[in-house]
Amino acid sequence: MLRWALIFLVVALVAGLLGFGGIAGAASNIAYILFVIFLVLFLVSLVMHLVRGRGI
């Protein structure tokens, strides 16, 4: 999922440089949403491992 967030970030940067404001905005929003989802899933996984007694 982090890979998709980075891909959409690159698409947003390229579209922004070429002047496609709407596409750049949409791609950056998608990248942000995917990054937040990735971060939440990572934190949930980390907490679950700590609760079970396993280390990282």
The pLDDT, as a whole number, for residue 14 is: 84
Q: Is the pLDDT of residue 1 over 70?
A: no
d(CA 33, CA 51): 27
The whole domain housing 9 covers: 2-52
The pLDDT, as a whole number, for residue 12 is: 82
HSE at residue 12, side-chain half, CA atoms within 13 A, is: 15
Using one digit for the tens of pLDDT, what is the confidence trace for 3-44?
877 787 888 888 878 877 787 788 888 888 888 898 898 899
| Residue appearing with tokens 């404001």 | 21
d(CA 36, CA 23): 20
pLDDT band at 54 (very low <50, low <70, confident <90, very high): low
The pLDDT, as a whole number, for residue 21 is: 74
d(CA 31, CA 10): 9
Phi, psi of 19 (to 5 degrees): 95, 10
Question: How many structural domains does the chain have?
Answer: 1
d(CA 38, CA 42): 6
The pLDDT, as a whole number, for residue 55 is: 53
